[in-house]
Amino acid sequence: MRTKYFLLMAAVTLGLSSCQKEFDPSSYAPALNIGGYNSAKQVAAANLAAYWAFDGSLIDSVSNGGGTNTGTSFGTGIKGKSLQGAANSYVLSVPSAKVTGLTSFTLTEWINTPPPSNGIVGLFSLSNKSEFWGNIEVFVENGSTNENGKLRIHINKGGDKTYAADNVLNLFGKWTQLAISYDATSGSVKVYVNGSRVSAGTVTGLTGPLAFTNSGNLVFGTVQFQTNPSQTTSTGKQDWASFLTGQIDEVRLYNKALSDEEVGYLSKLEARGK
């Protein structure tokens, strides 16, 4: 009888064990909360003017406007897929009224690219159809290294105004979030890398609300005059300019200058795939 009893108890225990689910610690973990947000889309959501996830598509998900590809492809991104650049390759996109009407702005994007070796590398452009530089033109200067990244930000307001950020560290060779803002109230330009501010200042003649003129296409992967044909009547292709051969991902444009805290929250959330 004792043998039958033990066999019965073993069968009951085995049956109960087979009904139990395997313990999953992650199911008991608290939801990610960074600054009160659990997703990047929640940060300054009301101020988002344009957003390109490049997750296998060239669409601005705010306006639903598409893009035209020349030679680019998609690769693995910081979140999903990303835009993969190449020599003589770029994407053009028609900007929405929310973009051309910006008076202040914050541009955020993730880049994963080698340092420039054949000329300046354009990261973002809101073209100006009659000026040398775009209404917004962001590029990395030739000769930049991880010890001395040289960022150039051109902003057009009654003529070209240039903000230079030198000695920016660790821009190349891995996924890095870059953020640039202009605040119409203070006239301040700020540059952030991976959520931390690395440069800030003002530019002579650049104050008050922006008022872009002769806005043309948005350009990803080069500066405005390297496309074929050029996006501006002012100039054509230049030997000292080149193309992004790395990747761009998660490009967001806001209609205000985000706070330092908001830029930091956004960087941390996107880095976690949120």
CATH code for residues 43-271:
2.60.120.200
Residue 19 has pLDDT above 70, yes or no: no
Residue 102 has pLDDT above 90, yes or no: yes
Q: Do the beta carbons of residue 253 and residue 51 sit within 8 Å?
A: yes
Exposed / middle / buried, residue 103 (Cβ in 10 Å: 0-12, 13-18, 19+)? middle
Nearest to 104, CA basis, from 210, 206, 189: 210
User: How do residues 172-189 score in pLDDT, each as one tens digit?
Assistant: 999 999 999 999 999 999
pLDDT, residue 44, reads: 97
Q: Do the beta carbons of residue 151 and residue 130 sit within 8 Å?
A: no
State the Cα–Cα distance between residues 223 and 230, nearest whole angstrom.
9
What DSSP character marks residue 166?
Answer: E
User: How do residues 104-144 score in pLDDT, each as one tens digit?
Assistant: 999 999 999 999 999 999 999 999 999 999 999 999 999 99
Q: Do the beta carbons of residue 54 and residue 82 sit within 8 Å?
A: yes
pLDDT, residue 24, reads: 59
State the Cα–Cα distance between residues 72 and 249, nearest whole angstrom.
13
What is the model's pTM? 0.89
Strands (E), 173-222: 176-183, 188-193, 196-202, 215-220
Residue 16 has pLDDT above 80, yes or no: no
| Peptide bond preceding 229 in cis form (omega within 30 of 0) | yes
